[in-house]
Chains A and B, each alone.
Chain A
Amino acid sequence: MNSAFMEAAVSLNNDYVREWKKAGKKVVGYTCSYVPDELLHAGDILPYRIRGFGATEATIGDTYFGPFICSLPKAMLQLAGEGRFDFLDGAIITPGCDSMRRLDECWRKAGEDIGGILPKFFFHFGVPHKFADYTVKWFIDEILRLKAGVEGHFGVSITDEKLREAIRLFNRSRDLLDRFDDLRTAENPAITGTEALAVILSGTTMPRDIYIELLAGLIGAMEKSGGMMGDRMRLMLVGSASDDVNLVRLIEGDRALVVADNLCFGSRFHVDRVDETGDPFEALAGRYLAKNECPRMYGEYAGRLNMLIDKAKKAKVDGVLLQNIRFCDLHGSENGLFERDLEEAGIPCLKIEREYGPLVETGRLKMRVDAFLERIGQRRRSA
């Protein structure tokens, strides 16, 4: 695999971001996959998904957030407070979940105490929690509000034509990622789950045209190369936001491959297409709000369960690893339902709760994953 993917996945201010900035162009971060990044691209701004990767302490995060909060936004605030997001010219906060949306206030207040850590463009982007004609209308207005904000602050013009171009470009990357997904879930994939996560999430940290070029090259190479499956167990990784390739590496060890996922930094990143005909804002709203893969879209459990079962069957997984970050009640609770219903459908599950951040609990996690692999290994042998 081209090392560019992994390098982009394990560094914040990566080479591509630095090159982009060197050219005098702007970078705007966003916290959730419900932000239509095509809009930023159309304004010649690099959309960059804000991450918590690399935080090694929570002193700043804990100063502003209360104790009973998911460690991902705390890690993001920590990095922001340490100046590691100084390359961002703007940030868009969404109500992805309660912990994440309070990053808005915590970052702003931290910015009053620590000079220079708050991007000058700071935008709260409201995303409805359900899909209906009136919620789509709201969302279109919200996208237009964001457009006006971006244009006003950065002095750019986001025309319909530029937006359509961006939509076509991003759809092209989704087509490629679908192809990549097919190869990754094949009988004998040529790539590990660790690498796969790096490939997908690096798309949120680099210019899309460069990403497409790299991705096309990788797919070409994968189509020609041999597999690495061996007798490893096939796993699917599901649940809370996970942008840490080391977590997948820990899970895989030398006995398993994560051949599929349903993570917002993973394959949920490229589902569906934006309609390339008609009004581009309606098209964006349609695609982004219709995505019901995240449990923040309440009342859509049945659809998500069916989608998981389909994915599990397509990827022929031996088991599903349902993980949630502590205090992530949305994924944690839905994982409880998934466990009940997937097991009932004959798909073994392991449900684990973890902290986000440096893998301080590797021993505990590894022990539970190993026990699960033992269980599904016996099942496979007796089949």
Chain B
Amino acid sequence: MRPELKEYKFDSMLLSTFASAAKLKNGSDKEYRTMLKYIPYFNGTVTTVLDTGEPGLLFIECISKYLENYITAREKGFHNAITTFCFSPGILYAMDVFPICLEVLSVAQTFAYKRGTAEFLDFCNEVGYTETSCSSQRGTLGAFLAGVGADVDMVLTDTPGVCDTNANAFAFAAAYLKIPFFSLDMPPVLVDVRTDQYHNADFRALIAFLEEHTGRKLDLDRLREVLKEIEKQEELVAELEDLARIVPNPLPVTFNLMVYATRFLFSGMKECTAVLESMIRIASDNASRGVSGLSGGVEKLRTFFCYIDHYTNSLKLWDFLDKNGICYQGNILSRSWASTAPHVKEYRTEAAAYTFDYGGLDAMIRTMADHNSRMPMIKSIRGPYDAPDMWLQDTLSLAKMYSADCIIYNGTPGCRNTWGMVKLLARDTEKAGIPTFIMYGDAFDDRVESWEASRDRLEEFLRVRRLLV
């Protein structure tokens, strides 16, 4: 790692970057345009997000606030925890533990810097963590292993049984940094009494762990407040998902990213609600006018991403989609599996969904356990891909419901789990009549395959399959 990278804490630098970005539009338009020249690798992200108006600004402010929260948590007498995107942070906020979501921070860095997370990725390898591991965690993990991140109290994950390489990243972090570790474990079946009991017991063990390591008792009123906010957010997400069914889709292409990123950061907190409400105002307005969310105004194609997006760099994937009139119909990250979600109602999959119950501690624990065990990825790829309520069923039903013309898989070479079954999934979705494309790049590290190469291959697929003339 270059010595200069060790001079400052990476997260404090990232905080400065996003805090400054949030203020860019405070001046005149001329000042704004001039400033963009000074951030040549970040201006694509800034313009794409801020051009969405109020939601974009709130979103960038959210990222700043998130960074500030965990960086300053310890000096304010609170705690922080390294955790993962598919671990709902609600329980943590209810106990004044500020989450440090490795994957979101990796994305923030690939959006902000030309170097992305390359040097932190490589630092992990220097200290013995495999280069074949998933780059989503590795990109930020390296910074913490190198001691250039905030001091951390504990490590939490919920991916054992779902994603080895993810769970392994957190276990490695805890062993390397010698700090406490807790993992929620996920059985291979979702809808099952045994599984429910397992999730409940596991979640109680998590609460006991948090109480032990924070010295605080779980406050039921705080938890209730957080859960009510999550429920409200799920309703808002459901409304956005409903709006996305309209042709043309009134949601700008970046809204999907902003939905899931905000939930990963602030699920159960007012900050997330504000972003979602703001997005609904824009999307509803577009819908009432029959306007597409695409900047060109013409929707030529609707795509469903069956896994994750491509994050390197400066939002080039979203820019590509927008410029080509390709509407983004979501991915597994943005989905809510609340019983009120449109796809749950449409396909009558309530048994696999969750509801909210504030009746008492037991009911709230059950609610949290159900919610957490249906987070993106946790829900869909825990069992065989073709089992009920798993990846194939979710992908096909969502792609059909949102009228997708094609399905695109993008991940990272570190994703052992999906690479073990994506060829089979693609074969089945093709059989179902939906053209499917497997991208071989790395969502977080464009040294594996440049975005330009990935884009060329994607364009070739769209051309050869006559999806985009």
Which residues on A are within 8 Å of B, measured CB to CB? Answer: 63-70, 73, 95, 97-99, 101-102, 104-106, 109, 124, 126, 128-130, 132-135, 138, 141, 295-296, 298-299, 301-302, 324, 326-327, 329-330, 332-337, 339-340, 351, 353
Q: Looking at the assembled complex, report how far the CB atom of A141 sits from the nearest CB atom of chain B, in whole angstroms.
A: 6
Q: B residues touching A (Cβ–Cβ < 8 Å)?
A: 127-130, 132-133, 157, 160-161, 163-165, 167-168, 170-172, 174-176, 181-183, 185, 187-189, 194, 197-198, 201-202, 205, 383-386, 413-424, 427, 440
Chain A's closest residue to B180 (CB) is: A299
| Contact for B422 among A66, A70, A126, CB less than 8 A | A66
Task: Kindly identify which residue among A124, A298, A326 contacts B183, using a CB–CB cutoff of 8 Å.
Answer: A298
Taking a contact as CB atoms under 8 Å apart, the answer to whether B167 and A68 are in contact is no
Which of A109, A133, A138, A298 is B160 in contact with, Cβ under 8 Å?
A298
Tell me whether A329 and B175 are in contact (CB under 8 A). Answer: no
Find chain A residues with CB under 8 A from B205 CB: 132, 134
| CB < 8 Å neighbour of A351 from B128, B160, B172, B176 | B128
A106–B261 Cα distance when bound, in Å, is 33
* Complex alpha-carbon distance, A332 and B129, angstroms: 7
Q: Tell me which residues across on chain A come within 8 A of B423, comparing CB atoms.
A: 63-66
- Which partner residue on chain B sits nearest A340 by CB separation? B128
Q: Are B424 and A336 in contact (CB under 8 A)?
A: no
B194 touches A128 (CB 8 A): no
Say whether B420 contacts A134, CB under 8 Å. no
Q: Which 6 A-B pairs have the closest CB atoms?
A: A336-B128, A102-B420, A66-B419, A129-B160, A134-B201, A332-B130
| Nearest-CB residue, chain A, relative to B381 | A98
Residues on the A chain within 8 Å of B198, using CB: 134-135, 138
Contacts of B197 on A, CB cut-off 8 Å? 134
Question: Given the complex of chains A and B, what is the CA–CA distance between A69 and B415 in angstroms?
Answer: 9
Out of B161, B168, B202, B424, which one reaches A329, CB within 8 Å?
B168
> Using Cβ atoms and an 8 Å threshold, which residues of chain A touch B165?
98, 329
User: Which chain B positions have C-beta within 8 A of A73?
Assistant: 420
Residues in A neighbouring B386, C-beta threshold 8 A: 105
B170's closest neighbor in chain A, by CB?
A298
The residue of chain A having its C-beta at the shortest distance from the C-beta of B200 within the complex is: A134
- Taking the closest CB of chain B, its distance from the CB of A355, in whole angstroms, is 12
A138 to B182, CA, bound (A): 19
Nearest CB of B to A136, in Å: 11
Check B421 against A296 for contact (C-beta < 8 Å).
Answer: no
Known contacts A296-B164, A330-B164: A301-B420 contact under CB 8 Å: no
Query: How close is B213's CB to chain A, nearest CB, in angstroms?
Result: 14
A298 near B168: Cβ-Cβ < 8 Å? yes
Contact indicator A138/B176 (Cβ below 8 Å): no
Contact A134 B171 (CB under 8 A): no
Query: CB distance A333 to B421 under 8 Å?
Result: no
Contact B424 A109 (CB under 8 A): yes
Q: Which residues of chain A are near B417, meaning CB under 8 Å?
A: 98, 102
Q: How many whole Å from A129's CB to the nearest CB in chain B?
A: 4
User: Which among A73, A101, A132 has the greatest number of chain B C-beta atoms within 10 A?
Assistant: A101
Question: Closest Cβ of chain B: how far from A352's Cβ, in Å?
Answer: 12
Q: Is the CB of A98 within 8 A of B176?
A: no
Residues from chain B with Cβ under 8 Å of A97 in the complex: 164, 416
| Given A64-B424, A105-B385, A329 and B160 contact (CB-CB distance below 8 Å) | no
A124 to B187, CA, bound (A): 11
Residues A138 and B130 in contact in the complex (CB < 8 Å), given A98-B417, A298-B168: no
Query: What are the residues of chain B within 8 A of A99 when measuring CB–CB?
Result: 416, 420
Q: Are A102 and B185 in contact (CB under 8 A)?
A: no
CA A301 to CA B189, docked complex, whole Å:
27
Q: How far is the CA of A302 from the CA of B168 in the complex (A)?
A: 14
Q: Are A299 and B187 in contact (CB under 8 A)?
A: no
On whether the beta carbons of B414 and A68 are closer than 8 Å, the reply is: yes
Contacts of A334 in B (CB 8 A): 172
With both beta carbons as reference points, the residue of chain A lying nearest to B427 in the complex is identified as A109
> Closest approach, in angstroms, between the C-beta of A157 and any C-beta of chain B?
24
Chain B residues with CB under 8 Å of A335's CB are: 128
Complex Cα distance A337/B145, Å? 12
Known interface pairs A135-B185, A336-B129; A129-B420 also in contact (CB < 8 Å): no
Q: Is the CB of B189 within 8 A of A102?
A: no
A104 to B413, CA, bound (A): 20
Task: Say whether B129 contacts A98, CB under 8 Å.
Answer: no
| Interface pair B132/A67, CB less than 8 Å apart | no
A239: shortest Cβ distance to chain B, in Å? 12
Shortest distance in angstroms between B136's beta carbon and chain A's nearest beta carbon? 13
Given known A-B contacts A130-B183, A299-B181, A301-B171, A329 and B164 have beta carbons under 8 A apart = yes
Contacts of A327 in B (CB 8 A): 132, 416
- Report B-chain residues with C-beta under 8 Å of the C-beta of A351: 128
Q: Apart from A98-B420, A333-B128, what are 9 other A-B pairs with CB-CB below 8 Å?
A: A64-B423, A67-B413, A67-B419, A98-B164, A98-B165, A105-B424, A109-B427, A132-B201, A134-B202
Per the bound structure, the CA–CA distance linking A333 and B416 in Å amounts to: 14
Give the chain B neighbours of A109 by CB distance below 8 A.
424, 427
Which residues of chain A come closer than 8 Å to B174, judged between CB atoms? 299, 301
Question: Which residues of A are found within 8 Å of B427, using beta-carbon distances?
Answer: 109
Please give, as numbers and ranges, the residues of chain B lying within 8 Å of A106 by CB-CB distance. 420-421, 424
Sample 8 A-B pairs with CB under 8 A, ordered by A number: A65-B423, A67-B440, A68-B415, A126-B188, A126-B189, A298-B168, A329-B414, A340-B127
* B143 CB, min distance to chain A CBs, angstroms: 17
Chain B residues with CB below 8 A from A295, complex form: 168, 171
Shortest Cβ distance from residue A108 to the other chain B in the assembled complex, whole angstroms: 8
A326 to B132, CA, bound (A): 8
Nearest Cβ in chain B — how far from A230, in angstroms? 33
Least CB distance, A350 to chain B, in whole angstroms: 13
CB distance B172 to A333 under 8 Å? yes
Q: Give which listed residue, A129, A135, A333, contacts B130 with CB less than 8 A.
A: A333
- Which of B128, B171, B187, B440 interacts with A298 by CB under 8 Å? B171
**Separation of A65 and B424 alpha carbons in the complex (Å):** 8
Residues of A within 8 A of B175 (CB): 301-302, 337
A109 to B422, CA, bound (A): 12
**Inside 8 A of A353's CB, which chain B residues have their CB?**
130
